[in-house]
Amino acid sequence: MTKLGLVAFGNEGEPFDPNVHEAVSLIQSAGVTEPTCIQILQPGYKVGDRIVRPARVIVAEPDDAGPDIVGADQPDEAGLPTGPETGPQENREDED
């Protein structure tokens, strides 16, 4: 196949590019500064500039948790959560 120009690609540590990578999983990591491929699950293949199959990868994103986000879901004085998902909840019953 290499005689026909088929080339495998995808290396750990390279920046994530959605044009050539398929993200299978995403994790937060303080050890990266940009979305980075940390594990190659399946190499990608291309012929010339044409992608035959994208590389399937696990991606690490920078951990953006800062002091303003850390306490967002902590309970208030009444013991109720204070995060963005504390609005009224609907009661739904499945209809048969």
Q: What is the pLDDT of residues 70-79, one digit of tens each?
A: 444 555 555 5
pLDDT tens by residue, 13-41: 999 999 999 999 999 999 999 999 999 99
| Averaged pLDDT, 43-63 | 95
Where is pLDDT greater, at 1 or 84? 1
Which residues touch 38 (CB under 8 Å, ≥6 apart)?
12, 13, 27, 29, 32, 57, 58, 59, 60
Cβ distance 49 to 5 under 8 Å?
Answer: no
